[in-house]
Amino acid sequence: MEYERFSPTADTHRPWAAAEDRYEQFGYRRVGASGLLLPPISLGLWWNFGDNRTFDSQREILRHAFDRGINHFDLANNYGPPAGSAEENFGRMLRGDFRPYRDELVISSKAGWDMWSGPFGTLGSRKYLMASADASLQRMGLDYVDIFYSHRFDPKTPLEETIGALDTLVRQGKALYVGISSYSAERTAQASTIAKDLGTPLVIHQPSYNMLNPWVEHGLLQTLEQEQMGSIAFTPLAQGLLTDKYLDTTEVERSGGRRSLQDQLSTENLDKIRKLNDLANTRGQSLAQLAIAWLLRDGAATSVLIGASSTAQLDENLGALRNTDFTSEELEQIATITQGDAGIDWWKSSAIS
Ligand code: NAP
């Protein structure tokens, strides 16, 4: 018997469709006093979405994330490598897969770190921020981003100018919400006052924050509450230190990982992560899950901004949401284990006024 043959192109060109149960996985969290809601876990495209990784592997991670309810993707002008390539690749995925879901997505970008040569390719001038926002929109093929950030405080440009540029981007319809990243508590309060006076409140702060680097607890979280701003914690896993990746490493044979963690893989830090891992196991969690759950406890971050190089990492990290409650004894234990400077506040200088 002969079977009718169908052209394989019919299947190949069938558009990707997201999982129908994607919003049944967890609740979404309000960002400060704004109308914006974020998933408890968001995905950042800093490191694994440039031209260093295949397009197919990137697309697999992004599709999987969206299927599992992660509708916030965080970018910046300089993400890659090379700088700009993550936004370009994301634009390609948007055109191919996510265009029908644009109104469900929260897409962010930023400017503040070095992007192009000359005096106007870095920091916080109006000239840099406005030009960079346009370039980011063009790379991604978007009319607007949902959140645009000043990526770091600029000690030489008047804060009024930097925050004024964010206000202009909102008025031009190029950003729906604006925020700041790695600003100190003091600068955050000043920036928030300026923004409120302009009529475009800063809704969100993006600081580095994890169990080994809790600098935000010394003033910034309080300021954010006072200013009714939300927060999204980046580098929640200390770039892999707070996972099972380095548990069996000895200081002598320390391997370094994707970025140089040589200085961070000290005997003291390895001791800390092993103790944290023991605690995680008593809670039925992996170390990565403990680290993420801890950031989602009451009064900490609105959303946790992870990086991932595989869908397996993503799934493990999403498993953190099964238990985000902590007893006071557990919190005390974590504070005792993690006390002392672990030397991983990589963005400290950008938060200094
Ligand atoms: P991170 O979550 O601390 O580290 C992510 C890395 O940890 C992954 O790339 C992966 O390393 C490893 N990892 C993740 N889950 C794992 C698991 N379950 N088991 C083992 N290893 C695991 O975050 P990050 O990459 O430093 O930053 C996350 C996002 O924050 C960025 O993409 C970006 O959006 C944002 N960010 C913002 C700023 C800022 O200045 N505002 C600065 C940095 C980052 P491998 O890739 O080696 O597998």
Token duo for residue 287: 């170390």
Q: Is the C-beta atom of 303 inside 6 A of ligand 1?
A: no
Can you say whether the dihedral through the CA atoms of 82, 315, 263, 76 is positive or negative? positive
Give the CATH class of 3-351: alpha beta
Q: Where along the chain do its domains lie?
A: 3-351
Amino acid sitting at position 301: A
Neighbours of 283 (CB within 10 A): 16
How crowded is the C-beta side of 208, counted as CA atoms within 13 Å?
A: 18
Q: Which atom of ligand 1 is nearest to the CA of 289?
A: 18
Q: Cβ(157) to ligand 1 under 6 A? A: no
Euclidean distance between CA atoms 265 and 288, whole angstroms: 17
In angstroms, what is the span from residue 234 Cα to ligand 1's centroid?
A: 8
What's the gap in Å between 213 CA and the centre of ligand 1? 14
Cβ atoms 242, 270 nearer than 8 A: no
Per-residue tens of pLDDT for the chain, all 353 residues: 444 444 444 445 668 999 999 999 999 999 999 999 999 999 999 999 999 999 999 999 999 999 999 999 999 999 999 999 999 999 999 999 999 999 999 999 999 999 999 999 999 999 999 999 999 999 999 999 999 999 999 999 999 999 999 999 999 999 999 999 999 999 999 999 999 999 999 999 999 999 999 999 999 999 999 999 999 999 999 999 999 998 887 654 544 444 567 778 888 999 999 999 999 999 999 999 999 999 999 989 999 999 999 999 999 999 999 999 999 999 999 999 999 888 888 887 566 55
| Ligand 1 pocket check for 130: Cβ under 6 Å | no
The predicted model scores a pTM of 0.94
CB of 181 closer than 6 A to ligand 1?
yes
Q: Which residue has the tokens 């002598």?
A: 252
Which atom of ligand 1 is nearest the CA belonging to 112?
40
Listed residue (303, 322, 317, 320) closest to 65, CA to CA:
317
Residues 6+ apart with CB under 8 A from 285: 293, 319, 320, 322, 323
In short, whether 306's Cβ falls inside 6 Å of ligand 1 is yes
